Chains A and B, each alone.
Chain A
Amino acid sequence: MLWVDKYRPKSLDKVIVHEDIAQNLKKLVTEQDCPHLLFYGPSGSGKKTLIMALLKQIYGASAEKVKVENRAWKVDAGSRTIDLELTTLSSTNHVELTPSDAGFQDRYIVQEIIKEMAKNRPIDTKGKKGYKVLVLNEVDKLSREAQHSLRRTMEKYSSSCRLILCCNSSSKVTEAIKSRCLNVRINAPSQEEIVKVLEFVAKKESLQLPQGFAARIAEKSNRSLRRAILSLETCRVQNYPFTGNQVISPMDWEEYVAEIATDMMKEQSPKKLFQVRGKVYELLVNCIPPEVILKFMLSQRLLHELLKKLDSELKLEVCHWAAYYEHRMRLGQKAIFHIEAFVAKFMSIYKNFLISTFG
């Protein structure tokens, strides 16, 4: 088993990072009814872990007994019926799913599953009517329609069904939903916290951590605890015992994106653009989400390189365009077009910049 999963805190009491939030959550569910919750924060900060721990807190061990189901729905939408299929993870008391997998028909999923859950309410041991929990992942990727339809269903069935929403960025969740939930922001853990966790893992695995090695991993991890632990294990697999100056190798795709960024800095020509297109295709074919590509391309390399050239204005402009094209990418469908548009824009700006400064 991977260390990430092995040392994942299973209960709210065992949480190391975000201890305060964990305690608050615990109070929330023990003392009173649980409201709808919206967890948001960057990836690798512990949202999922907290949610799972919270469920365990509410329902006890039965929350862990999940089964994977491939469920099919037949939704009657006016004149036609729509067949939908989705993988769900469910226990007796909760259902977890990623509605955005259903593409633009996600709103039917949201409506159907909540109705269905409301139909068979569980009765807890004391004979009191309990509630079920529906965990929705990637709410920020839900279409606007789905979010709107969620709004109503949330209220209508709130007596029998609680929602726990989970997403990276709350800005893509509509205000209406945000206001109906208790928003819980999960920060990315600080580097110190990550180091603490890494040392904890190392101790449990009885590994020798050289001085500063954990710190380096933490630094490389981009404040994602998950990635930190994963790369610790990667290092362990690659080379043990650790040496002080061991290379912390980036992810395979990170390397590849970095290569693209270097290409873009090196030469700005249609030919290069064509090569970049090929590489971006390669990444997309390998299931790397386009947003991740764009973001990494920008944050890790381009800005870094531009910083060396000491041009903050250009940096701003590039950031602006990256944001612009990322937004458009979500509006559109063919991600490659938008990434390519960004690359072309960057090349054009950068080339003009080079010509104007260096002649």
Chain B
Amino acid sequence: MSDIRKWFMKAHEKGNASAPKSTSSKAGPARNAAETAPLKSEQASEDLETAARRKTSKFFGKDKTKVKDEKEVEEIPAKRKLKTDSDDLAKPRPRKVTKVVDDDDDDDFDVPISRKTRDSTPSKKLKSGSGRGIASKTVDNDEDDDGEDAQDKETPLKAAGRGRGGRAAPGASTGGRGRGGGRGGFMNFGERKDPPHKGEKEVPEGTPDCLAGLTFVISGTLDSLEREEAEDLIKRHGGRITGSVSKKTTYLLCDEDIGGRKSEKAKELGTKFLTEDGLFDMIRSSKPVKKSLPERTNKGTEKICAPPKTSPQKEETRGKPLAKSSPNKVPPAKGKKKIIETSLPWTEKYRPKVPNEIVGNQSLVTQLHNWLSHWHDQFGGTGSKGKGKKLNDAGAKKAVLLSGTPGIGKTTSAKLVSQMLGFQAVEVNASDSRGKANSNIAKGIGGSNANTVKELVNNEAMAANLDRSKHPKTVLIMDEVDGMSAGDRGGVADLIASIKISKIPIICICNDRYSQKLKSLVNYCLPLNYRKPTKQQMAKRLMHIAKAEGLEINEIALEELAERVNGDIRLALNQLQYMSLSMSAIKYDDIRQRLLSSAKDEDISPFTAVDKLFGYNGGKLRMDERIDLSMSDPDLVPLLIQENYLNYRPSGKDEAKRMDLLALAAESIADGDIINVQIRRYRQWQLSQSCCVASSILPASLLHGSREVLEQGERNFNRFGGWLGKNSTAGKNRRLMEDLHVHVLASRESSAGRETLRVDYLSLLLSRLTSPLQTLPKDEAVSEVVDFMNSYSISQEDFDTIMELGKFKGRENPLEGVPPPVKAALTKKYNEMNKTRMVRVADMVQLPGVKKAPKKRIAAMLEPTVDSLRDEDGEPLADNEEENGSDAEEDSEEATDGQKLESNLKNLNARGIQVELDLKGAGSSGSRKAAGKGRGRGKAADASAEKKATGRGSGAKRKR
């Protein structure tokens, strides 16, 4: 395959002079970057020597040949240009015009540098031609440049400037494609202040590695770039970004000195300050440096890309120049062939061979090593003694439990350590059945795997016998123990039992240590928690592998990869291998693009999702991205959208148009609600995508833009959806309303529905309850109100409910102007009346076979004097005993009361109603409790009830 590629390139070189540029720059940049200027020149001379490079060196070896070539180049693209440029020309040109100023000072800046670095080949024409070298991204524009260069041959300096201008266009366009960010500052709409000149500056494109070795810290708001964009720019050019200033920091990137901690620290350490323009200049200035390079090394680089960048190795290659360079012509190809031939996944091929190779978690590996090596000292010998020892030494456990996210080397380290200590590792993983061992071991070990395990654990001798000669000791690795489930009945319990009796060390491996299944196991194991390796650690290892595979990739790109895969080194390797199939040099952008989707798997908070959907480039998101965003929380995102869509101002729309859009969005949100009902009520889950389109994506795409504040003093962040809170308040009020409704119904004066009660009755009820308090003298008012309350069985709680519901925001409180003493008197009077109040209580009819006790709320609702009840409920028994004692004393008092009540009762009984008597004092708590619990009275209560039953003749009724 690589041969074909090679052939392909050559063909291009011959056929089209512009092609080598693109190919070479594809292979070149990663490597170019690592090289510093002196090295380059050195190499240039070396290049000249190399026979393999003859062909290419004719381009720049001598001026004469070059001129010729130049002409060739000019002719071909010129022709092409006619074909393709009719539209292309139109685009880049206007841009160039706007950039003229920039370019001008660029030129001033550029010239000295380019001269310096190009001592060996100081041709101006070369410079003009070199414009092609970098702009590898879009061929069309490239040719455009070439054409211009050709035209401007006489004034090369100017040409350079122009060429750059032209190049800016492809740069911008690729940027837009890659990140959706575009050249402007249309980046995420975050909390940070907007850059003042967002998107107004052209973002330069330099050599990929022009910032290599430099460390940046960004502080404050930049002039035109969003923070993310700036980071991206620096990373793309090989720079490193850190969060805080340290000695290693090369530059502090900030446009305005806001005097924060970073800048103070930087001043202290003497770190250089760099403005955004400075950064741009740095990047721009890198271009000429690079320009000369790809041409010089044009094909050569391609061929010797195998030798890695670090200087010692380079020395080596340089040491044996000719002899080696000719065979070197093919090494990458060979390397690749090898891979294909062996067809071993890199993850297997580069699995660490010694414990030191394991990335990260070295201390844990050491711990594991120590544990395993001391295992036999501790638990060896006779089993019983070992156990005893274990009990004494609390720290020592007979098994270890390695835990951590996938792909960070748990299994590898377990195997390596046991291998190193000369243990024979027996691995049992989820693919083996690990159910509870058959208790009848006599069946033999020929049976299930579980039995084998048991056997292994039980009988050291036998286990060892399996392969006595080589491995005297055995270790059992139980992989994926958290995967023990349905099939492995009793697996964990059995494992624990095995650990207890085990005569060999057991290493258990799991992903989630806090899994419910493993709760019991953890107690028997020494927990070793693997952490994700840092990205630097991973990058180092990856670099090592990439080198060995002849893959060109720089450290920054690898770090990015490491970050994207979230610590999973196995995944990183797989990705790397996959990418290596299609390209031999991998750049930062490639990784970004490749792993863009996998990065999405992380959790996004609904707020971030809504921010993105509504953001400036919400319109540029792909549909699947939008669905991903709104599906990140299908319940909350629509609510947030609904809450905030009013705040967004779609760009370029006038007020009337915006109102139309709002109406559309609102309708779409309502659609979403309707679909949601279908989903939830009729379980039409296949509609969930439509729901998310209707409730989130459409409104967001209609209205995305800048957020503005509707209320004074509001923070310009998305609010949390108000619906949840309001709905629960509404629900609470509805319940209270229902209580009131039931009471009113129970009074048998009205049979109004709940809705009618609220819509029609409530305002009159309110004024009947409040206006006497406001107008009449205290006593009169209070008694009138209490009378009214009694006639409708309105309890104190209901009173509050009515007040609450009658209150509207921005209106005065209905109880306004009622002095506190009156309120107090009302409460007192109401409670006083409680003594003689008869309350009609909703009956607790139990259906046959239904045992459900009434909910407390309902029980309470049916109870008029809840407050006092609660107090007494606290110590029911004590109360009841007291009652028994006090009953006798109060009998006389009650006699009078009782007579009145009796007549009342008879009256009511005649009407066939069930009545509960509420008497403050003696009987009250007993009977109340009856109402509260619905059934099953306490013994004491029973007694008192019966006592009164004779007196009132209502016992039977009350007992039901």
- Interface: A78 (CB within 8 A): no
Cβ-defined contact, A336 with B726, below 8 A: yes
| B808 and A237 form a contact (CB under 8 A) | no
By CB atoms of chain B within 10 A, which of A1, A67, A69, A287 has the most?
A287
Give Cα distance in the complex from A85 to B852, angstroms: 10
Instruction: Bits for A284-316, please: 1 = Cβ < 8 Å to B, else 0.
Output: 111111001000000000000000000000000
Q: For residue A227, which residues in chain B have a CB less than 8 angstroms away from its CB?
A: 760
Cβ–Cβ contact A252 & B760, under 8 A: no
A157 close to B (CB within 8 Å): no
Report how far A279 CA is from B726 CA in the complex, Å.
12
Residues 91-106 of A at the B interface (beta carbon under 8 Å)? 92, 96, 98, 101, 104
B542 interface residue per 8 A CB criterion: no
CB pair A344 B659 closer than 8 Å: yes
A-B contact pairs, 15 of them (CB 8 A): A2-B768, A43-B756, A44-B760, A65-B913, A92-B912, A138-B755, A238-B771, A252-B766, A269-B659, A278-B809, A285-B729, A287-B733, A332-B674, A334-B673, A337-B669
CB-defined contacts of A101 to chain B, threshold 8 Å: 754
- Which residues of A1-52 have CB atoms within 8 Å of chain B's CB atoms? 1-2, 4-5, 43-44, 48, 52
Q: Which of A48, A72, A278, A284 contacts B730 (CB 8 A)?
A: A284
B681 at the interface (CB under 8 A from A): yes
- Docked Cα-Cα span, A83 to B729, in Å, equals 24
Known contacts A44-B760, A89-B745, A281-B726; A338/B670 CB under 8 A = yes
A340 nearest CB neighbor, chain B only: B666
Complex partner residue of B711 from A48, A64, A274, A347, CB under 8 angstroms: A274
B729 proximity list for chain A (CB < 8 A) = 285
Give a binary string over B849-872; 1 marks a CB under 8 Å from any A CB, 0 the rest: 110101100100010000000000
Residues of A within 8 A of B430 (CB): none
B737 within 8 A of A: yes
**Complex Cα–Cα for A285 and B858 (A):** 22
> Within the assembled complex, what's the spacing in Å between the Cα atoms of A137 and B755?
11
Indicate with 1 or 0, residue by residue over A38-81, a CB within 8 angstroms of chain B CB atoms: 00000110001000100000000010111111111110000000
Which of B663, B670, B750, B914 contacts A348, CB < 8 Å? B663
Contacts of A351 in B (CB 8 A): 655-656, 659
CA distance A227 to B764 in the complex (A): 10
Nearest CB in chain A to that of B727: its residue: A334
Contact A234 B764 (CB under 8 A): yes
Bitwise interface map of B from 267 to 283 toward A, beta carbon under 8 Å scored 1, else 0: 00000000000000000
The reply on A328 being an interface residue by CB < 8 A is yes
Given A72-B847, A287-B805, A332-B674, A87–B842 Cβ distance below 8 Å?
yes
In Å, the complex CA distance between A192 and B764 comes to 23
9 smallest beta-carbon distances between A and B, as pairs: A341-B666, A348-B663, A332-B673, A344-B666, A68-B842, A344-B663, A341-B670, A348-B659, A68-B746
Is residue A345 contacting chain B, with contact meaning CB distance below 8 A? Answer: yes
A270 within 8 A of B: yes
The proximity string for B residues 750-767 relative to A, scoring 1 for CB distances below 8 Å and 0 otherwise, is 111111101111111111
Within 8 A of A (CB), among B805-830: 805-809, 811
Contacts of B805 in A (CB 8 A): 286-287
Interface centre among A44, A65, A268, A334 (most CB of B within 10 A): A334
A334 to B639, CA, bound (A): 11
A residues at B contact (CB < 8 Å) = 1-2, 4-5, 43-44, 48, 52, 62, 64-74, 83, 85, 87, 89, 92, 96, 98, 101, 104, 116, 137-138, 224, 226-227, 230-231, 233-234, 237-238, 251-253, 256, 268-271, 273-274, 277-279, 281-289, 292, 325, 328, 331-334, 336-338, 340-341, 343-345, 347-349, 351-352, 355
B673, A65: Cβ atoms closer than 8 Å: no
Is B570 an interface residue, CB under 8 A from the partner? no
Residue of B670, B723, B844, B845 near A332 (CB, 8 A) is B670
How many Å from the CB of B933 to the closest CB on chain A?
14
Most buried by B among A71, A101, A325: A71
| Listed residue (A43, A328, A344) with the most chain B CB atoms within 10 angstroms of its CB | A344
**Contact B768 A237, beta carbon cutoff 8 Å:** yes
CA of A72 to CA of B742, assembled, Å: 15
Assembled-state Cα–Cα distance A222/B711 (Å): 37
| Residue in chain A with minimal CB distance to B759 | A292
B905 to A: closest C-beta gap in Å? 15
The contact string, 1 if C-beta is below 8 Å from chain A, for chain B 681-716, is 100000000000000000000000000001100000
Q: How far is the CA of A130 from the CA of B858 in the complex (A)?
A: 33
Question: Is the pair B749, A5 in contact by a Cβ cutoff of 8 Å?
Answer: yes
- Contact in complex: A268, B659 (CB < 8 Å): yes
Q: A68-B745, A348-B663 are in contact. List 20 more A-B contacts (CB 8 A).
A: A1-B791, A2-B765, A67-B842, A68-B742, A83-B852, A96-B751, A237-B764, A237-B767, A251-B759, A270-B659, A285-B729, A286-B805, A286-B808, A287-B730, A289-B758, A332-B670, A334-B723, A336-B726, A347-B663, A348-B656
Asked if A331 and B677 sit within 8 Å, CB to CB, the answer is yes
- Of all chain B residues, the one with the shortest Cβ separation from A280 is B726
Query: CA of A89 to CA of B642 in the docked complex: distance in angstroms?
Result: 41
How many of chain B's residues touch chain A, expressed as a range? 35 or more
A230 in contact with B753 given A65-B912, A72-B847, A284-B730 (CB within 8 Å): no
Closest chain A residue, CB of each to CB of B737: A287
Return B666 CB to nearest CB of chain A, in Å: 4
Complex Cα gap A71–B849 (Å): 13
Chain A binding site: helix, strand, loop or mixed by DSSP? Answer: helix
Judge if B658 is at the interface, Cβ distance under 8 Å. yes
Question: Do residues A271 and B710 form an inter-chain contact, with CB atoms below 8 A?
Answer: yes
* Pick from B658, B759, B852: contact of A72, CB under 8 Å: B852
Q: Which residue of B lies closest to A345 (CB)?
A: B663
Task: Say yes or no: is B897 at the interface (Cβ < 8 Å to chain A).
Answer: no
Q: How far is the CA of A213 from the CA of B200 in the complex (A)?
A: 72
A269 near B655: Cβ-Cβ < 8 Å: yes
A284 to B760, CA, bound (A): 15
Would you call A285 and B726 a contact (CB within 8 A)?
A: yes
Contacts of A348 in B (CB 8 A): 656, 659-660, 662-663
A227 to B752, CA, bound (A): 12
CB of B632 within 8 Å of the partner chain: no
**Which residues of B lie under 8 Å from residue A238 when comparing CB positions?**
767, 771
State which of B763, B842, B846 has its C-beta within 8 Å of the C-beta of A251: B763
Contact indicator B662/A234 (Cβ below 8 Å): no
Inter-chain contacts of A344 with B (CB < 8 A): 659, 662-663, 665-667
Contact of B733 among A98, A285, A336, A340 (CB under 8 A): A285
A43 to B754 Cα, complex, angstroms: 13
Contact A341 B710 (CB under 8 A): no
A328 touches B674 (CB 8 A): yes
From A230, A270, A337, B647 is in contact (CB under 8 Å) with A270
Contact A333 to B673, CB < 8 A, known contacts A69-B843, A72-B847, A347-B659: yes
Q: With the chains together, A231 CA to B738 CA distance in Å? A: 23
Q: Taking CB as reference atom, which chain A residue is nearest B743?
A: A68
Known: A270-B662, A334-B723, A345-B663. A70 touches B842 (CB 8 A): yes
How far does the alpha carbon of A284 sit from the alpha carbon of B731 in the complex, in Å? 10
B854 cross-chain contacts in A, Cβ below 8 A: 70, 72
Cβ proximity bits B715-729 to A, threshold 8 Å, 1 near / 0 not: 000000011001101
Residues in B whose Cβ lies below 8 Å from that of A73: 847, 850
Shortest Cβ distance from residue A327 to the other chain B in the assembled complex, whole angstroms = 10
Contacts of A231 in B (CB 8 A): 764
Given A270-B662, A273-B662, A292-B759, the answer on whether A98 and B753 have CB atoms closer than 8 Å is yes
Known: A252-B766, A274-B711, A287-B733. A337 touches B753 (CB 8 A): no
B911 within 8 A of A: yes
| A16 to B741 Cα, complex, angstroms | 27
Residue pair A71, B677 in contact (C-beta under 8 Å)? no
